Amino acid sequence: MNITRDVITDLWPVYAAGEASADTRSLVEAFVEQDPEFARSLQDRNVDQLLQADVPRLPCDREAEALQRTKRVLHGYSLDWLHFLAVLFTAFAFGRIVSDTSWDVSPRNFIITASIAGVFWVAHFVRSYRVRRNVFRTNCLWIHSTPRD
């Protein structure tokens, strides 16, 4: 069987990508050893093709628009009611500590108030995590859904 330059040219992208089988690699390497000038032209062509690869372009303002959209959505959730109640009950708990400094008062009120604050903090962070995750996912889909220029 006669192996021509056209056959090697067709096999070169698979070889260069490292996806060729062992037999194909040995065939390409044997042919390239016999014709070093052709090997240089293949390598140069491969580099030129990589440099000329079409890079998807987004409109200039698309990323800035996504950032503004994200800020607008996240700003609406930054001071929600869970955050407000968590801060409020945390302040009440610290107020309990300050007002009940004597040893004859039961710490039950402080423990209850601090527990309620803890529940609100956990709920706030879980909700913030979910909102931010959904905003990120939505913006990623939104950025890449537009047609390219």
DSSP 11-57: HHHHHHHT---HHHHHHHHHHHHH-HHHHHHHHHHHHHHHHTPPPP-
Average pLDDT over the chain reads 77
In a domain, 57, yes or no: no
Within this chain, do residues 92 and 28 fall inside the same structural domain, yes or no? no
Count of CA atoms in the C-beta half-sphere (13 A) of 137 = 6
Within this chain, do residues 42 and 68 fall inside the same structural domain, yes or no? no
pTM: 0.41
Domain with 138, as residue range(s), is: 62-144
Within this chain, do residues 66 and 131 fall inside the same structural domain, yes or no? yes
In a domain, 29, yes or no: yes
Within this chain, do residues 40 and 77 fall inside the same structural domain, yes or no? no
- Given this model, what pLDDT does residue 77 score? 55
Task: Give tens-digit pLDDT for 62-82.
Answer: 777 777 777 776 666 555 788
Task: Give tens-digit pLDDT for 105-138.
Answer: 788 888 999 999 999 999 988 888 887 777 666 6
Q: Per-residue confidence at 5, pLDDT binned at 50, 70, 90?
A: confident
Show Cβ contacts of residue 25 under 8 Å, excluding neighbours closer than 6 positions: 15
Q: What DSSP line would sit under 119-139, residue for residue? A: HHHHHHHHHHHHHHHHHHHHH
